[in-house]
Amino acid sequence: GAVVSQHPSRVICKSGTSVKIECRSLDFQATTMFWYRQFPKQSLMLMATSNEGSKATYEQGVEKDKFLINHASLTLSTLTVTSAHPEDSSFYICSAEPGQGAVGELFFGEGSRLTVL
């Protein structure tokens, strides 16, 4: 099946620093990738849609200047959490739709657990 790889799986950083998370589609090209955030015992919340070669589309309430998304190639999207604060600590998960299955069938990366001290 389709594989989406995410790195790093865990990161701990100090408040005020920036953290970059990478998401790669390993065996397919993804013109669109999706970034989700999940707090403990909560559902997945879509943060933004990453579009190759163009600006990301952010969901309401998500600060685009704080969560920088770059989708420079068909296999790589990055999410940078700038000036991270403890409230940004969460599980960040990227996903992509390979197009081999039905529309809406997402394959997820392993997730990145961010802890901001």
Partner 1 sequence: QKEVEQNSGPLSVPEGAIASLNCTYSDRGSQSFFWYRQYSGKSPELIMSIYSNGDKEDGRFTAQLNKASQYVSLLIRDSQPSDSATYLCAVNVYSGGGADGLTFGKGTHLIIQP
Binding site for partner 1 (CB under 8 A): 6, 32, 34, 41-46, 49, 57, 93, 95, 97, 101-111, 113
Backbone angles phi, psi at 89, to 5 degrees: -60, 125
Nearest to 34 by CA among 109, 114, 99, 88: 109
Choice between 32 and 89, CB closer to partner 1:
32
Q: Name the residue nearer to partner 1 (CB basis): 82 or 108.
A: 108
Decide whether 16 or 101 has the Cβ nearer to partner 1.
101
- Least gap, CB of 89 to partner 1 (angstroms): 14
Whichever of 14 and 26 has its CB closer to partner 1, that residue is 26
The token duo for 44 is 């997945």
DSSP conformation class of 96: E
CB of 16 to partner 1, least distance (A): 27
Shortest approach of partner 1 to residue 12 CB, angstroms?
16
At closest approach, how far in Å is the CB of 79 from partner 1? 14
CA 26, distance to chain mean position in Å, is 15
Instruction: Give 14-70 as a DSSP string.
Output: -TT--EEEEEEESSS--SEEEEEEE-TT---EEEEEEETTS--EEPTT--TTTEEEE
